[in-house]
Amino acid sequence: MEEFSIFNIFSMLGGLAFFLYGMNVMSTGLEKLAGGKMEVALKKMTANPFMALLLGMVITIAIQSSSAMTVMAVGFVNSGIMALADTVAVCFGADIGTTFTAWILSLGGIDSGNDGGIGSFLLRLLKPESFSPLLALAGIIMIMTCKKAKHKDIGRILVGFSVLMTGMDLMKHSVDPLAESDEFKKILTAFENPVLGVLVGAGFTGIIQSSAGSIGILMAFSSSGGLTYSMALPIIMGLNVGTCVTALISSIGVSKDAKRVACIHISVKIIGVLILLPVMIILEKFTAFGDIMGNTVGFFGIALMHTIFNLAITVMLMPFSKQLVKLSQFIIRDKKGGDEKTDVFAALDDRFLKTPAVAVETCRGTTVEMSDLTKTAIIDAISLLVSGYDEKTVQSVIDAEDLIDKYEDKINGYLVRLSKSSITGRDSRTVSKMMHCVGNFERISDHAVNIIESVQEMKEKGISFSDECINELLVITDAIKENIEIAFVAYLRDDLSAAHRVEPLEEVVDNLSTELKNRHIRRLQNDECTVELGYIFQDILTNLERISDHCSNIAGCLIETDEKTNIHAYLSDVKENDETFRREYKEYSELYFARLMGDKS
């Protein structure tokens, strides 16, 4: 066998690079394939700790990254989506889920034998080095030939897995010469000190920020035959502590509760080591357990110890979840003088950009908040046209419009950063819809302020509309409020059937506006209204029309994006040829014009 040299170190580092890159490609593909659905389900399922545990485990297995899962938990707490107490079980589930990677890697330790029989063939087929080249070929073919983004993502997952296993194989072969190296055996004797093993495992994993990478290297070294269970277990405990570095980094610059998520995560690992390491030492010294721990460890043994450690700390510490929360609150204390100021834009957390599907969903939640604020502002402004001036309502609309402007700036900035990430076709369409709709929400709030200004002008000048004029405004504002409700529901629920109902009503609003303008001109000609009031009335009608136009824009954006049609061509065609459009237009027209004409039936 060749001697260990500097070139073996080069090979090992190259293998580690392949391993980490393959893990990154595979986890990114898996996360895109999941589409954020499982992650967002955390918001609904964290009330039950056992369901939260299971979901945390499933998500970690699905995206192959406990660090990403913990970072998501930090982000959810920071944005107020999840409560601190709800994340404890999720973190335990992530710890268990991350052991699945070790079991995949352990397949590389299968001994297929050399008897040449069918059993040997099947065992050899289970080894990743046997089937990963085929997966790589299938993945490349899917990436190059498939048109659907989903199928390309599956191809990337297969290629990522193959690159990962190639890196694992490269690391394993690079350390083979160590089996005969006396110097290496002397180094290994240092790891008979369990504390050193914990420190080395924690330090190395903290540097590369991947427990899977550390497990892979540990398995590679175990192939030299010089690593025992008693040496490997403290290292495994240490790498579980080291993987918390990512959570600690992600907690920089977040709320106190978000920092406490990272604190709980690392506290669980440290407490687990402080309990289980002495137990291991005592059992090894005074029982037959020491004979077992002195045996040479292999791939399966490392995967087994990794799983047992995480299961053990879950069983031990999960019943004390409340105490863990209190411990984190004791370590990270609130400032004197009150609670932290709530940030309404906390959900637009850059930490979510590492998992774009989650970022899309949380950003959409913020746009829904913006739409609710816009809807309230415009309804309040419209109500003043009939009820008259109210200082409190006027100020609330002005304040809402200022906040809506900030929403637009924050959301658009976040969407620009998000659009640079690798997102699925479905998420890309969602981003496109958000970009278009937030602008329309902001324009609607501007028209709300314009209406407020008209109401203020009338109050300052001591003038008012006649009862006839107010009744007319009541009809058109009811039509507009209905259109706002339909358009905003269409956006909220991504409901195309509702979106298709907006345009018929928008056409009716345009006709109502034209009719009201004509009536007001007749009142001016008959000296039944002043020119000053006429200008104000015209401005109000113009703003009401524009509001309805923006409702049409919102609905049109949904239709254009999801049905992949040109909205102008669609509108032209639907008005001429669509029977449903004509029927709905007729129904809305008869309803509102009957009220305008004084038909009480």
Q: pLDDT tens for residues 59-70?
A: 787 776 677 777
Q: Which two tokens stand for residue 447?
A: 């028209």
Q: What is the mean pLDDT of residues 182-202?
A: 77
Give 425-453 pLDDT, tens digit per residue. Answer: 778 888 889 999 999 999 999 999 999 99
Cβ atoms of 435 and 415 closer than 8 Å: yes
Q: Which domains does the chain have, with CATH numbers?
A: 6-331 (no CATH), 353-596 (1.20.58.220)
Closest CA relative to residue 385, chosen from 478, 263, 309, 292: 478
Three-state SS string across 35-61, please? CCHHHHHHHHHCCCHHHHHHHHHHHHH
**For residue 108, is pLDDT > 90?**
no
Q: Any residues with CB less than 8 A from the CB of 63 and at least 6 apart, and which?
A: 27, 30, 31, 34, 69, 355
The number of beta carbons lying within 10 Å of the beta carbon of residue 17 is 14
Q: What is the mean pLDDT of residues 313-329?
A: 91
At 120 the pLDDT is 60
Task: Give the pLDDT band (50/70/90) at residue 414.
Answer: very high
- Which of residues 86 and 486 earns the better pLDDT score? 486
At 404 the pLDDT is 95
Question: pTM of the full predicted structure?
Answer: 0.71
**For residue 564, is pLDDT > 50?**
yes
At 601 the pLDDT is 36
- Which of residues 336 and 486 earns the better pLDDT score? 486
Q: Any residues with CB less than 8 A from the CB of 239 and at least 6 apart, and which?
A: 201, 202, 204, 205, 211, 214, 215, 218
Q: How far apart are CA 159 and CA 49, in angstroms?
A: 36
At 213 the pLDDT is 80
Q: Quick one: what percent of the chain has pLDDT higher than 90?
A: 28
Q: How far apart are CA 591 and CA 65, in angstroms?
A: 57
Q: What is the dihedral of CA 120, 125, 128, 129, to 10 degrees?
A: 80
Q: Which two tokens stand for residue 499?
A: 């979106």
At 600 the pLDDT is 39
Look up tokens 């721990």; give the residue: 293
Task: Give the pLDDT band (50/70/90) at residue 528.
Answer: confident
The DSSP symbol for 420 reads: T
At 353 the pLDDT is 82
Task: Give the pLDDT band (50/70/90) at residue 278.
Answer: very high
At 339 the pLDDT is 52
Angle between helices 256-286 and 299-317 (to 10 degrees): 120
**For residue 345, is pLDDT > 60?**
yes
- Dihedral of CA 319/325/326/328: which sign? positive
The number of beta carbons lying within 10 Å of the beta carbon of residue 409 is 13
- Which of residues 271 and 183 earns the better pLDDT score? 271
Point out which residues pair with 296 in neighbouring strands. 228
Q: How far apart are CA 459 and CA 343, in angstroms?
A: 36
- Dihedral of CA 66/71/76/82: which sign? positive
Q: Please state, rounded to an integer, the average pLDDT across all residues of the chain.
A: 83
Q: How far apart are CA 588 and CA 548, in angstroms?
A: 14
Cα angle 290, 292, 293 (rounded to 5 degrees) comes to: 65
Task: Give the pLDDT band (50/70/90) at residue 508.
Answer: very high
Q: Any residues with CB less than 8 A from the CB of 497 and at least 6 apart, and which?
A: none
The DSSP symbol for 189 reads: H
At 599 the pLDDT is 43
- Dihedral of CA 272/277/280/283: which sign? negative
Residue count of the chain: 601
**For residue 55, is pLDDT > 70?**
yes
Q: DSSP 3-state assignment of 468?
A: helix
